[in-house]
Amino acid sequence: ISKLDLRTKKRELKPGGANIPVSEKNKKEYIERMVKWRIERGVVHQTESLVRGFYEVWLSVTELVSVFDARELELVIAGTAEIDLTDWRNNTEYRGGYHDNHIVIRWFWAAVERFNNEQRLRLLQFVTGTSSIPYEGFASLRGSNGPRRFCVEKWGKVTSLPRAHTCFNRLDLPPYPSFSVLYEKLLTAVEETSTFGLE
């Protein structure tokens, strides 16, 4: 199967196509190959330019983003939306003996209020694995198997750092004896450690 272009130059649409006459039996294949040839020949130069441009941009971006660690890069990409603390608190559940009015939980929220927005986003990322806030707010937070609210659970010794279970949006928070201890341990966990705990 072949095609004559406007300059009467033959182009084979498939190997040996010049020697294959178009018939009722192969006309569908001929039409498909003809359409493909017409589409591809018109965009070859544009496609090549697009690919070259993409690689040029990609190489530049790679150099620029190499200065960020994974958490910082997510903040750069996702942005730094202002966290609504009321929404966050209203959509948090507690386990292991903690409740909204427990002294450790009051200290926890006081610490979060004291954090700047970037530290709050890092706390969110530490516990959930992402610094992105759902468009619908914290009520729409998702875990690994569907909707999963932010959770703070009583766990561990007062000498331990808090730990996170990102699949469950759960922060394991030891029952610290004071606000200052809680604040320092929470800040250290959020800023200096990995996010994963084992069950």
Which positions are catalytic?
167
- Tell me the one-letter amino acid at 75: L
Complete DSSP assignment for 140-188: G-EETTEE--EEEEE-S-TTSPPEEETTTTEEEE---SSHHHHHHHHHH
Helices within 66-132 (DSSP H only):
70-78, 85-90, 103-114, 117-128
Phi and psi for 11 in degrees, rounded to 5?
-130, 130
Task: Report the distance separating Cα 128 and Cα 138, nearest Å.
Answer: 11
Three-class SS state of 81: coil
The total number of residues shown for the chain amounts to 199
Phi and psi for 173 in degrees, rounded to 5?
-120, 115
Q: Which residues are bridge partners to 92 per DSSP?
A: 150
